[in-house]
Amino acid sequence: MSLDRSSHSYLSGLKVRMSMNDGRVAHITPLVPTAKLHKTTLLKFLGSLRQDGINQVYTSALRPREQFFFRQLGFIVHEELLLLGHDLSTPLSAPVKRTRRGRRSDWDRILEIDAKAFSDFWKFDEAALLEAIKATPTCRIRVGADNEISSFAITGRSGRTGFLQRLAVDPRYQRTGMGRSLVADALQWSKRWFVNELLVNTQIGNTGAQKLYESMGFSKKSDGLAVLKWNANS
Ligand SMILES: CC(C)(COP(=O)(O)OP(=O)(O)OC[C@H]1O[C@@H](n2cnc3c(N)ncnc32)[C@H](O)[C@@H]1OP(=O)(O)O)[C@@H](O)C(=O)NCCC(=O)NCCS
């Protein structure tokens, strides 16, 4: 697998990633507060994407204030997400299943598991995996491994806030306690590094993930997140 770093570019406070699965799709992540983004520059940018044949642009998960800004540019809600947090104040359970550090040589298998566990829209390509790993200054990649790699989790921290960036279990190994062990590992690692809160977001209809997080002490946060979508043809 080769990771193409040129698939990322930066524009006036935004990170832009072209999808490696679909050449007509781009993903954007604001890197600065939306008050610092310029509408005219972004509208020009969307126009240039349209000319280059990109007809759909998806944002990263945005908070309500950020959503308001992008709605003004013609974005609409694609999917609402649930934000959950764990304040690490309660005793934590230890992982029951064996996990180990995820190595660079595991990345192909990680992407395979991701593609099996998530729908086409949510599944990672190589650039998205790299983006999740690099999203925070410090990152921990763990894989569930007995005979073969069954699952993985990517957890990052920035200052005193932790982010469970990705969690996926190969469907063949689901409901065997792998997800719970990887979340337990992420919580323990966060606490060890003095994180005040570990955050995770999940799709609103993902009841399996929601039940798993709530059963481990995460609680819903009030402000909803959403991924927004811009369609060149509407
Ligand atoms: C969500 C996911 C990580 C759970 O992993 P898992 O290894 O199957 O979970 P576990 O076996 O550790 O289950 C722990 C608990 O979570 C809950 N749970 C997990 N999957 C569930 C499901 N499909 N329906 C209802 N509850 C579920 C249960 O309470 C379960 O405890 P129980 O088996 O004793 O009832 C896995 O289903 C997955 O990879 N899903 C697709 C990708 C995804 O949604 N990732 C998380 C996005 S944020």
Q: What is the mean pLDDT of the chain?
A: 93
- The structural architecture, per CATH, of the domain 5-81+224-231 is 3-Layer(aba) Sandwich (3.40)
Ligand 1 mean position to 174 CA, how many Å? 7
Q: Tell me, what DSSP letter sits at residue 102?
A: P
Q: Residue 224 contacts by C-beta under 8 Å, 6 or more apart in sequence?
A: 64, 80, 81, 82, 83
Are 5-81+224-231 and 85-220 equal in CATH topology?
Answer: yes
Q: 139-170 pLDDT, tens per residue?
A: 999 999 988 999 999 999 999 999 999 999 99
Q: By C-alpha distance, which of 234, 231, 233, 228 is closest to 60?
A: 228
SS3 204: coil
The protein residue with its alpha carbon nearest to ligand 1, atom 48, reads 202
pLDDT score recorded for residue 19? 87
User: b or e along 122-147 (b: 16 or more beta carbons within 10 Å of the residue's beta carbon)?
Assistant: bebbbbbbbbbbebbeebbbbbbbee
- Give mean pLDDT, residues 82-106: 96
Asked which of 1-15, 73-87, 176-190, 201-215 is least confident by mean pLDDT, the reply is 1-15
Residue 75 has pLDDT above 70, yes or no: yes
The protein residue with its alpha carbon nearest to ligand 1, atom 25, reads 208
- What are the structural domain ranges in the chain? 5-81+224-231, 85-220
Residue from 146, 211, 218 to probe ligand 1 pocket by mutation (most atoms less than 8 Å from CB): 211
pLDDT score recorded for residue 2? 35
Give the pLDDT band of residue 6 (cuts 50, 70, 90): very low
Ligand 1 mean position to 154 CA, how many Å? 16
The protein residue with its alpha carbon nearest to ligand 1, atom 10, reads 177
Q: What CATH fold (topology level) applies to the domain 85-220? A: Aminopeptidase (3.40.630)
Enter the tokens of residue 204: 């609103």
Residue from 180, 187, 198 to probe ligand 1 pocket by mutation (most atoms less than 8 Å from CB): 180
- Give mean pLDDT, residues 14-25: 88
Q: Which atom of ligand 1 is nearest to the CA of 113?
A: 39
pLDDT score recorded for residue 12? 76
Ligand 1 mean position to 210 CA, how many Å? 8
Ligand 1 mean position to 29 CA, how many Å? 28
pLDDT score recorded for residue 111? 98
Q: Which atom of ligand 1 is nearest to the CA of 175?
A: 11
Output the ligand 1 site: residues, CB below 6 A.
Answer: 117-118, 167-169, 174-180, 200, 202, 206-209, 211-212, 215
Q: 49-65 pLDDT, tens per residue?
A: 999 999 999 999 999 99
Q: 102-147 pLDDT, tens per residue?
A: 999 999 999 999 999 999 989 999 999 999 999 999 999 999 998 8
Give the pLDDT band of residue 224 (cuts 50, 70, 90): confident
Q: 159-215 pLDDT, tens per residue?
A: 999 999 999 999 999 999 999 999 999 999 999 999 999 999 999 999 999 999 999
Enter the tokens of residue 105: 């040589």
Ligand 1 mean position to 176 CA, how many Å? 9
